[in-house]
Amino acid sequence: MKRRAFTLIELMIVVIIIAALAAMIVPRLSGRAEQAKIAVAQSDISANIATALKLYQLDNGNFPTTEQGLAALLEKPSSEPVPRGWNSPYLEKQPVDPWGNVYRYKCPGTNNKTGYDLYSIGKDGVEGTDDDITNWGK
């Protein structure tokens, strides 16, 4: 009875081919994780949190103040101006950026005088650097 099996040379050729493919693909994927985090933060700022803030404004006639912050989207604020039309949590949980930092919020905004400033301090964790992801143009 004759057995058929792979020879050591055949296995080595398969391993070399896999290593060559990995060597071509891995450099293209490096850095993509950071790009994905930036895209998530931009999406949170321009869509997810922005939508919650707009709903809050529609229900209450104004955005939460800086002091009330984004916490006003989770629990009804008791500080002035007390929202009279607060209509449930607008977010399920405290919004945190992909780097584990809480999103920053100011209303009235310093950069958006008629609205609010909403931003992430980015990967470096330092406010005011090029790493910041904002809802206003730089």
- The per-residue pLDDT for range 44-84, each reduced to its tens digit, is 999 999 999 999 999 999 999 999 999 999 999 999 999 99
Burial 104-122 (b: 16+ CB within 10 A, else e): bbebebeeeeebbbbbbbb
Contacts of 109 (CB under 8 A, 6+ apart): 115, 116, 117, 136
Q: How confident is the model at residue 113 (pLDDT cuts 50, 70, 90)?
A: confident
Question: Which of 120, 125, 128, 127 has the alpha carbon at shortest distance from 45?
Answer: 120
Q: How do the domains of the chain map onto residue ranges?
A: 32-134
pLDDT of 81: 94
Question: Which whole-number Å values give the CA distances from 122 to 5, 21, 56, 129, in the listed order?
Answer: 54, 33, 26, 9
Task: Examine the pLDDT at 34 and tell me if it is beyond 90.
Answer: no
Quickly name the fold that domain 32-134 has: Glycoprotein, Type 4 Pilin (3.30.700)
**What does the pLDDT average to over 18-24?**
84
Query: What was the pLDDT predicted at 2?
Result: 67
User: What average pLDDT does the structure give for the chain?
Assistant: 90
pLDDT at 37: 92
Say if CB 49 and CB 102 are below 8 A apart. Answer: no
